[in-house]
Structure 1
Amino acid sequence: MADSFSKKENFKKKLQKQKEKALRREDRKTNNEKGKEIEFMYVDAFGRLTSTPPDEKVEVDLENIQLGAAPIEAEETVKKGIVTFVSDKGYGFITEDNNKENVFFHSNNCDQLLKKGNKVSFEKERSPKGFSAVNITLIK
């Protein structure tokens, strides 16, 4: 059976598109300007990026440069707060006095039985799920 006229035309269009695509691909390969012109950037004495090279006369005191994060200020170790929630299972939350942040506690870290509204002093310790209170003592 012979192909119809529309099938022949569609086949011709498909071949034409393939040829045009191959020509565009070859054109991109020959006229590729990507990566040929690289502009260098420099860092000046203030940490800004510039296109001008640094002066050779500027000396940097390498001994007094401090690398790493900013130093952490010393925090008070014993904090005070109010017990805001206590569960039957033995855990609860303490709200700190100075920043109103909730800190988790467990009854294993308490010397006495705590109730809601008790004023306590405690130490904050980082745990896998956030901060938790340890060494909890009741303030009278």
Structure 2
Amino acid sequence: MARVDIRLHSYREIFVATGTVKWFNASKGFGFIQADDGSKDVFVHISAVEKAGLSTLNEGQKIQYELQKGQDGKTSAGDLKSI
């Protein structure tokens, strides 16, 4: 029997950006970040906030984030860092 070597490679582009929290509602579980580069506002989910070790985001807070594309094709903020 022949041996087959199969390797799966994952390719992911990472776009790091900065912005200001436009608004965030912890009880609703989401909000938006206004991008510093003037592009459209970026959706941020409570799961990304909690993963960053934060409980909430405050209006006007400066954030560094990665733009991530979900399975639905929509872009959101992830890997958040308060700056």
Give TM-score scaled by structure 2 length: 0.68
Higher strand share: 2
Q: Secondary structure at the match of 2:44?
A: strand
What is residue 91 of structure 1 aligned with on the other side?
30
Give TM-score scaled by structure 1 length: 0.42
Q: Relative contact order (alpha carbons < 8 A, sep ≥ 6): 1 or 2 greater?
A: 2
Return the alpha-carbon distance in structure 2 between the equivalents of residues 78 and 129 of structure 1: 18
Q: Secondary structure at the match of 1:114?
A: coil
Return the alpha-carbon distance in structure 2 between the equivalents of residues 116 and 129 of structure 1: 27
Indicate yes or no: 2:80 matched with 1:136: yes
Give 1:77 shift: 2.3
When the two structures are aligned, how many residues end up with a matched partner? 65
Higher helix share: 1
Q: Amino acid of the residue matched to residue 23 of structure 2?
A: F
Where do 5+ consecutive residues of structure 1 fail to align?
A: 1-74
Where do 5+ consecutive residues of structure 2 fail to align?
A: 1-12
Structure possessing the higher radius of gyration over alpha carbons: 1
Q: Give the root-mean-square deviation of aligned CA atoms.
A: 1.8
Runs (4 or more) in structure 1 with deviation over 2 Å come to none
